[in-house]
Chains A and B, each alone.
Chain A
Amino acid sequence: MAVEAPRRAQRRATIAYVERRIQDARNWNPPPPLVVATRYVSMLLLLVAIGILVWGLISALAFTSTQTGIPCPDPPQRVSTPPQLVVVLMCVVAFVLGHMTARLQPIDPKMLYVPEGQARAKAKKVGADAGTEDATAVAVFDKDPDKERKDLYHRRNEALIVQALLLLFLLEVAGLLTIEAVTLQRGVWPITYYVRCAYDAAGNQSMLAAAAILFLVGRWFWLPARRQNAASRSE
């Protein structure tokens, strides 16, 4: 027992150290040149991802419009070139790259807060909470009533677009699930088989397309932490 106590203390100290390092990494503010460079890298990688997706789309459409058969054995093989592990690694790298490009970009302070009412209430309650994102956002809103109205109008419009896109995404997900279920029930190839067929017939191109999709997913869906002093755009 006497030996266990120092070990526990050492373990706690190690965990605390790791937590501190993680917190430091989350609150790390990239230098301005890196932020500017990230914006250009983001645009470049987005162009590459768009190019890969267009290439994949054109290839798929061209094949189906000119050929009657399928480009792989029936059922498609699950072992092809490059090996699955390489594909998975490539996708993980693309996912992390997508997140990093989004994370290092400057963040609009208005996007860091939650609903106006909540933010105002919180800022009033906390009072001297200057320096936090919520207080910054409220300060922006409280500066000028006209600007506040204009901001609100623009933000409502933009929020409407985002919600419409989310609705589109949900409808597509529902459609894909329906297609998958119906095709399986009717003895027709499900979407999974087509993905395997693409990997079997054009492994490298499929890997690049999967990596491009994962890059976009990493950019959009891996939430950046609320950094204490996040780099922000100028007004």
Chain B
Amino acid sequence: MPHPGPSDALVLVAGVGLSTLLLLAVADLFLTFDERPSVGEWVTQWARRYPLFALALTLLAGALVGHFYWATAG
């Protein structure tokens, strides 16, 4: 049976993960306020330039989100 890990590691993982999201969200807010191309537009342009790479990345991100968040009650 797995046991909880050290809290320092948890703080590091949660801090890094959420901080990146926060950084991107703040950047998106600034770009939207300034009427400049938003994060989504950049991602869209990049995805159109490299569609296969974008597809692979999307599958990976989807698998990760599903793995972490989808806890089917057994």
- Shortest C-beta distance, A125 to chain B (Å), equals 19
Interface size (A, Cβ < 8 Å)? 71
A221 with B22: CB separation less than 8 A: no
* Given A56-B18, A216-B21, A221-B43: A192 touches B68 (CB 8 Å cut-off): yes
Q: Which residues of B contact A16 (CB under 8 A)?
A: none
**Does residue A24 face the partner (Cβ distance < 8 Å to B)?**
no
A111 with B28: CB separation less than 8 A: no
* Given A61-B11, A193-B2, A216-B25: A111 touches B72 (CB 8 Å cut-off): no
**Does residue A153 face the partner (Cβ distance < 8 Å to B)?**
no
B18 with A188: CB separation less than 8 A: no
Q: Which residues of A contact B35 (CB under 8 A)?
A: 39, 106, 233
A195 with B69: CB separation less than 8 A: yes
Q: Is the interface of A mostly helix, strand, loop or mixed?
A: helix
- The contact of A43 among B33, B37, B67, by CB within 8 Å, is B33
- The contact of A220 among B4, B28, B72, by CB within 8 Å, is B28
Q: Which residues of A contact B3 (CB under 8 A)?
A: 74, 187-189
6 cross-chain pairs, A with B, having the tightest CB-CB distances, nearest first: A188-B5, A64-B7, A162-B42, A46-B29, A111-B41, A102-B40
Besides A39-B32, A193-B4, A195-B68, 17 more A-B contacts (Cβ < 8 Å) are A43-B29, A46-B25, A46-B28, A47-B29, A56-B18, A111-B41, A111-B42, A172-B20, A183-B5, A187-B3, A188-B2, A189-B3, A192-B67, A194-B10, A216-B25, A219-B38, A219-B40
